[in-house]
Amino acid sequence: MKSIMQTEKRCYICTTMLNLHKHHIFQGKNRKTSENNGFTVYLCGEHHNMSDNSVHFNHNMDRKIKEECQKVYELRHTREEFMALIGRNYRE
């Protein structure tokens, strides 16, 4: 499924088109849910997992993307639907 967060293949953080990685916003047991619902973004290596300033090492950046994804999802769905999929509210 296409990303609900992006229409172009660019880094979600810095907009570069170089060295892009597909990032599943909700990982672990929710990775497949992310894939099936478009909870993905493209990130350059720097912002994905190749520096301290990346979603895999910067908790605030990771949390912000999760919150933004939930916000976009809730434009067309309910909070209850999101909670049924992910099991946690990121918009507190």
Question: Two tokens at 71?
Answer: 């916000």
Give me the pLDDT at residue 63, please. 97
Is the distance from CB of 4 to CB of 12 less than 8 angstroms?
A: no
Per-residue pLDDT of the chain (92 residues), as tens digits, is 899 999 999 999 999 999 999 999 999 999 999 999 999 999 999 999 999 999 999 999 999 999 999 999 999 999 999 999 999 999 97
Q: Where are the alpha helices (DSSP H) in 9-92?
A: 31-37, 45-48, 59-73, 79-86
Give me the pLDDT at residue 89, please. 97
Give me the pLDDT at residue 92, please. 78
What are the extents of the domains in the chain?
Answer: 20-86
Task: Please give the model's pTM, rounded to 2 decimal places.
Answer: 0.94
Give me the pLDDT at residue 50, please. 96
